[in-house]
């Protein structure tokens, strides 16, 4: 039986496993963390057809259960290197794996702001995930940086917990109209446009931020939601073609390396949604079946 290793258990990777299993190709998922990817950081998903509204963690669990029930193995390991000889050799922290095909579904990690002191304040006022850390700031004033769907989704979540939420946008909002309208309807959300954070004010913990228009916001928590960066260092040996750090594919999800596919947020594309990640997974699996 042909074997396919899928690296990453987000919606893209899990959907690829479902389609591969049904096509008679053995999928093994390697995931360094808990299955679910970015969904785990989203408290409410309202644009995944079939669920009017569902918690991200719950959707992740449902996907995981469905593929586990089909007999798909999810191995906890971190992939450090992938090389190609007769077969792919995948070197993990704990073990080594061989495969006829590899699907990269590792998503991306949050982008850092790059303001001095950021790393030191992580967990001491700075966070990249409102769903994970919002509860620490109950009834306090917080800010979120970013004007995309992530920032506004997190602002809505925080506005239920915190007394006031500033949204700091460097130019203009780019989030969907639905989210923009919901945010505008919340009395405790203040949107500050054309402004950036130039300094953190802190002792051991964050006390506030200085903006580049000279204003100071006294806040206890700062959430950074300015997009993500894909991490594809483990593919260095394969010289796979990328664009802005994202893996380039054709419309069958094939990369520049024969037998290597890329799906979901790690892929260079226009739209980064759960439904498009899942769709990439289906396309990759069906392409592999066609090629095998």
**Sites of contact with ligand NDP (CB under 6 A):** 47, 113, 145-151, 153, 169-171, 174, 196, 225-227, 271-273
Please identify, using beta-carbon distances, which residue of 159 and 287 lies nearer to ligand NDP: 159
Nearest CA among 111, 110, 12, 79 for reference residue 238: 79
Query: Minimum CB separation from ligand NDP for residue 276, in Å?
Result: 9
Query: Minimum CB separation from ligand NDP for residue 63, in Å?
Result: 16
Query: Minimum CB separation from ligand NDP for residue 274, in Å?
Result: 7
Which residues of the chain form beta strands (DSSP E)? 3-7, 26-31, 73-76, 79-84, 88-92, 96-99, 101-104, 108-110, 126-127, 141-145, 164-168, 189-192, 197-202, 206-211, 216-217, 221-224, 228-230, 242-243, 246-247, 260-262
Query: Minimum CB separation from ligand NDP for residue 104, in Å?
Result: 18
Q: Which residue has the tokens 């992530």?
A: 150
Query: Is 129 among the catalytic positions?
Result: yes
197 three-state secondary structure: strand
Name the residue number minimizing CB distance to ligand NDP: 148
Please identify which of the residues 95, 96, 132, 250 carries the catalytic annotation.
132
Please identify, using beta-carbon distances, which residue of 64 and 269 lies nearer to ligand NDP: 269
Tell me how far CA of residue 229 lies from CA of 58, 107, 180, in angstroms: 25, 8, 24
Please identify, using beta-carbon distances, which residue of 169 and 285 lies nearer to ligand NDP: 169
Query: Is 132 among the catalytic positions?
Result: yes
Tell me how far CA of residue 179 lies from CA of 183, 184, 196, 237, in angstroms: 6, 9, 21, 42
Please identify, using beta-carbon distances, which residue of 90 and 151 lies nearer to ligand NDP: 151
Query: Minimum CB separation from ligand NDP for residue 93, in Å?
Result: 28
Virtual torsion, Cα 113, 115, 118, 119, nearest 10 deg:
80
Q: Known catalytic residues?
A: 129, 132-133
């Amino acid at each position: 039986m042909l074997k396919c290793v899928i690296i990453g258990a987000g919606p893209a990777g899990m959907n690829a496993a479902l389609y591969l299993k049904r096509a008679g190709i053995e999928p093994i998922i390697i995931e360094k963390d808990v299955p679910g990817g970015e969904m785990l950081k989203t408290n409410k998903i309202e644009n995944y057809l079939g669920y009017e509204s569902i918690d991200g963690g719950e959707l992740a669990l449902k996907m995981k259960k469905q593929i586990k029930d089909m007999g798909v193995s999810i191995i906890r390991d971190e992939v450090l290197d992938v090389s190609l000889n007769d077969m792919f050799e995948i070197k993990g922290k704990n073990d080594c794996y061989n495969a006829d095909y590899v699907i990269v579904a590792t998503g991306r990690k949050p982008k850092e702001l790059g303001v001095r002191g950021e790393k030191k304040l992580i967990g001491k006022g700075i966070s990249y995930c409102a769903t994970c850390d919002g509860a620490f700031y109950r009834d306090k004033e917080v800010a979120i940086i970013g004007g995309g769907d992530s920032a506004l989704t997190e602002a809505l979540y925080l506005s239920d917990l915190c007394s006031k939420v500033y949204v700091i946008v460097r130019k203009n909002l780019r989030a969907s109209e639905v989210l923009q309208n919901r945010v505008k309807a919340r009395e405790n959300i203040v949107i500050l446009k054309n402004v950036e954070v130039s300094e953190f004010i802190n002792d051991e913990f964050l006390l506030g931020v200085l903006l580049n228009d000279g204003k100071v916001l006294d806040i206890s928590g700062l959430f950074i939601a300015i997009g993500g960066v894909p991490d594809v260092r483990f593919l260095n040996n394969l010289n796979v073609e990328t664009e802005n750090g994202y893996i380039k594919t054709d419309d069958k999800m094939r990369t520049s390396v024969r037998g290597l596919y890329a799906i979901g947020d790690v892929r260079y594309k226009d739209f980064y949604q759960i439904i498009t990640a899942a769709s990439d997974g289906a396309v990759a699996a069906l392409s592999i079946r066609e090629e095998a």
